[in-house]
Structure 1
Amino acid sequence: MCLFAIFAFATCGGYSGGLRLSVDCANKSESDLNIDIAFAYPFRLHQVNFDAPTCEGKRREKLSLIGDFSSSAEFFVTIAVFAFLYSLAATVVYIFFQNKYRENNRGPLIDFIVTVVFSFLWLVGSSAWAKGLSDVKIATDPDEVLLLMSACKHQSNKCLPVRSPVMSSLNTSVVFGFLNFILWAGNIWFVFKETGWHSSGQRHPAGAMEKQSSSYSQGGYNQDSYGPTSGYSQPGTYGQVGEYSQQQGYGQSGPTSFANQI
């Protein structure tokens, strides 16, 4: 992740580009065929000034580009720099301070929270910079800049774009921004597994199964312990039945002998 963070802030923070315009006046002596406009990070375009001919004698007008997109660009670069520093520090802790990292489970919990925060920041920062880059492209479009010149409002003068700014590195910075978001968001699960929340979540079902198995085994043991007693009591029950049958037989013999006597 350190490498991707470096690419993100390097491709954005180190950008410098420019465009070139041509104004061909009806009076050729007043023309300027090479108007160079340079701009760079942090894209405060309203501070980028340039001179353009008015095609009205030797008088020239001072113009500036439109827009200030420094907030989204600086926010994106700041996230990339801090993400790089944290990744570097975390790598050192993982390698050299593994015991302290796992002590009291504070290290994994802090790492988990920071990872979630950086994932959110990468998503917000990349989205904001993608919108900012789109606005920068519009503000630095040569056709849009030509509309700012008063000489280009007259059909007798010819205003043409000579060179457009190259935005490939800025496009790359947006791509690396969203790649960093994917990496940090995917790392949330691996960091979560190191926390106590994941381990405690696995312990509770196991403890519940152990309780169920122990209670089941106790119930089986009680049944076995009562089995011989109940089995022992059954002969006594049969004995009572036998005695009852004997009494019944004795009761029946009385009436029989009485009938014989009669």
Structure 2
Amino acid sequence: MSAFQVNLNPLKEPLGFIKILEWIASIFAFATCGGFKGRTEIQVSCPPKVTDNKTITATFGYPFRLNQASFQSPSGVNVCEVRWDSHVLIGDYSSSAQFYVTFAVFVFLYCTAALLLYVGYTNLYRESRKLPMIDFIITLVATFLWLVSASAWAKALTDIKVATGPNIVQELLPCKPPVTCQFGSVTSMGSLNVSVIFGFLNMILWGGNAWFVYKETSLHSPSNTSASHSQGGIPPPTGI
């Protein structure tokens, strides 16, 4: 194996430059999803003081097991004679969220390793037939998995918005007369929208980079054997 020797020229080429973009985009993908924390609020009132509203909150976040996010009343008191901590949001979206974040982390690690290979072992990568082919196969698989994970996470996010929005008033059992419930607010999910965008952006980056990785493989470049034949292994036929 050749010694590690820094060569920044591959970073100036599409193969290395796009890999840097993929590395950055993967960070944004798992950071914007995995670091989210939010809460939803409802206003509760009960007779005889129907104008005396109490705020009930439910805190949720990654990995979005909403069925474990219980409501909390102010100071832990039972508002309207209801134990709100025994009531939770509806839905478990951890599978889609964890698959998306875990895959993004693996992509980040692979991009780091690939960049080290491009920069530190440029000759080894260019002279090898196996390394570019492995890189090409991983690129195709990653493109497909970005499509799957981003689509699944986008669907889960839509359901999360529904489960934490105004519909929770209709789903909560205590919110029946004489108890009056009104939806208050929910934390903005702008960062989660960004995570979905970066998921599909990653898919585009990996799909576009597949061509440049393909050009490094033996499928695109002639093998050493065929090159030697074309350069003089067999003399051209002469006329009679």
| TM value normalised by structure 1 | 0.72
* CA shift for structure 1 position 28: 1.9
Name which of 37, 47, 50 aligns with 2:71. Answer: 50
Note the C-alpha offset of 1:54. Answer: 6.8
Q: CA deviation at 1:59?
A: 4.1
SS of residue matched to 2:221: helix
Return the alpha-carbon distance in structure 1 between the equivalents of residues 50 and 157 of structure 2: 38
Report the counterpart of residue 101 of structure 1 in structure 2: 125
1:184–1:151 Cα change, 3 Å: same
- C-alpha separation between the residues in 2 aligned to 1:149 and 1:51? 13
Contact 2:38 2:186 in 1 (8 A): no
Which of 200, 219, 223 lines up with 1:197 in the alignment? 219
Q: Does 1:173 pair with 2:195?
A: yes
* Residue matched to 2:8: none
CA-CA distance at 1:36 after TM superposition: 1.4
Residue 162 of structure 1, CA deviation? 1.7
Deviation at 1:51, TM superposition (A): 4.6
Task: Verify the 8 A CA contact 1:44 1:69 in the aligned structure 2.
Answer: yes
State the partner residue of 1:119. Answer: 143
Whose RCO is larger (CA < 8 A, sep 6+)?
Answer: 2
Q: What secondary structure is seen at the aligned counterpart in 2 of 1:37?
A: strand
Letter in structure 1 aligned against 2:48:
N
- 1:30 to 1:49, Cα distance in 2 relative to 1, 3 A: farther
The structure 1 segments of at least 4 consecutive aligned residues displaced by more than 4 Å after TM superposition are: 29-32, 51-54
In the alignment, which residue of structure 1 is the partner of 2:56? 35
- Structure 2 counterpart of 1:250: none
1:147 is the counterpart of 2:166: no
Supply the AA of the counterpart residue of 1:89.
A
Q: How does 1:1-262 map to 2 (within 5 A)?
A: 1-28=22-49, 32-51=53-72, 55=80, 58-61=81-84, 62-141=86-165, 143-154=166-177, 156-200=178-222, 214=236, 218=238, 221-222=239-240
Aligned residues between the structures: 208
Mapped to 2, the partners of 1:94 and 1:160 lie a distance apart of 57
Q: Report the alpha carbon displacement of residue 158 of structure 1 after superposing the two structures with TM.
A: 3.2
TM-score by length of 2: 0.78
5+ long unaligned stretches in structure 1:
223-262
RMSD: 2.6
Matching residue's letter, 2:192? L
In 2, Cα distance between equivalents of 1:63 and 1:30: 23
Equivalent residue number for residue 19 of structure 2: none
